[in-house]
Amino acid sequence: MDTVLVNGTSIAYKQAGSGERTLLLLHGAMVSHTDWTPQMEAFGAHYRLLIPDIRGHGQSGKDGQPYSFTQFAQDMAELLQALGVAEVGVIGHSMGGMVAQELALTYGDRVWALVLAETTYGIRSKWYEALLADLTIPLIKYYSIEKQAELYARVLGKYTPEVRDYIRQEIRALADDPLNMQAIWNAVGKFDSKSRLAQVRAPTLILVGEHFKQTHRQGRNMASLIPEARFRMVEGAGHMLNWDQPKQFNAAVLTFLAEVEDR
C-alpha cells in the first residue's frame, strides 16, 4: 500500500492492473480495499486499478471527524489529482456507492462511467427507514465491536462461507477505535442524494443482489432518477454480491464498461 496526504489526512491506496483507462474501486463500510479481492484479476486485465481505503478505514487516517460524504468525495478527487489521473470509471459497493454518487455529482467531469453496487441514496428516504436508522445507529455505540462483527458476518456471509471470516476480520480491525466506527455510521445516517441524482451525467449501472431485498426499491428508483442508468439484479447473491457471484458480477461490470467505451 502507498499513501498520499490529501484533504488533511493520509489516504492509503493500492494500484494494480494495466490499461489506458483507470477504475476507482470504493469499498463498503467497516471493510477496506480488500473488499475488491474477487475483482482484481478480472478488472486488472483490462484497466489500471486504483483501490483506496476510504478515510477512517483500513490503513487510511482517521482525522477530520465528524465525517461526511462531501469530505470522502473530496479525498478521492484530491487522490486522483495527486496521482495525475484525469478521469476514472468509479465502482462503489454499499457505502462506497454513496461516495461514488457524491464524486459523480461534485466532480462529474472526472467520471466517465459509474457502477453502483448494493448501495442507497439514503437510509431515511421512507419513514420506516428513518425509524430503523434512528433505532440502530445509537445502538452501535453500545454494542461491542466483537458482537457487531459476529452479527454482520452471519448476515453478510449467508451465501458465501468465506465472506463470514472476511467480514469478521475486517470489523475486528476497527475494535481499537469505537468512536471512529460510530463516526462512520453517523455519516452514513446523514447521507441523502435522492434529490440530486438527476444531475448525474455519467453512464450508470446499478447492481443489486437477488437475495438482499432491502436495496431493490432504491436500486430501481436510482435507475429511474439517473438519466443514463440501467438496473440489473445479480442472481443468487446477497449484499456481498461481488463475493457471492464474482463471475456474474465481473461480467456485468466489464460488459457495461466496454459498451460505454464503444460509444
Residue 184 lies inside a defined structural domain of this protein: no
Asked if the structure places residue 158 within a domain, the reply is no
Number of domains in the chain: 1
The model's pLDDT over 20-77, given as tens digits with 9 standing for 90+, comes to: 999 999 999 999 999 999 999 999 999 999 999 999 999 999 999 999 999 999 999 9
Each residue's pLDDT tens digit, 200-242: 999 999 999 999 998 999 999 999 999 999 999 999 999 999 9
Task: Report residue 179's pLDDT band, with 50, 70 and 90 as the boundaries.
Answer: confident
Q: CATH code at 80?
A: 3.40.50.1820
Instruction: Map the chain to HEC letters.
Output: CEEEEECCEEEEEEEEECCCCEEEEECCCCCCHHHHHHHHHHHHCCCEEEEECCCCCCCCCCCCCCCCHHHHHHHHHHHHHHHCCCCEEEEEECHHHHHHHHHHHHCHHHEEEEEEECCCCCCCCCHHHHHHHHHHHHHHHHCCHHHHHHHHHHHHCCCCHHHHHHHHHHHHCCCCCHHHHHHHHHHHHHCCCHHHHHHCCCCEEEEEECCCHHHHHHHHHHHHHCCCEEEEEECCCCCCHHHHCHHHHHHHHHHHHHHHHCC
Q: What is the pLDDT of residues 118-160, one digit of tens each?
A: 999 997 555 344 434 444 555 556 667 777 788 888 889 999 9
Q: What is the pLDDT of residues 67-122, one digit of tens each?
A: 999 999 999 999 999 999 999 999 999 999 999 999 999 999 999 999 999 999 99
Instruction: Please give the pLDDT value at position 130.
Output: 47
Q: What is the pTM of this model?
A: 0.94
Flag whether 157 is in a domain: no
Quickly state the pLDDT bin for 262 (edges 50, 70, 90).
confident
In a domain, 92, yes or no: yes
Question: What residue numbers bound the domain in which 93 lies?
Answer: 2-123+193-261
| 174 in any annotated domain | no
Q: Is the residue at 87 inside a domain?
A: yes
Looking at the domain assignment, is residue 173 inside a domain?
Answer: no
Give domain status of residue 253, yes or no.
yes
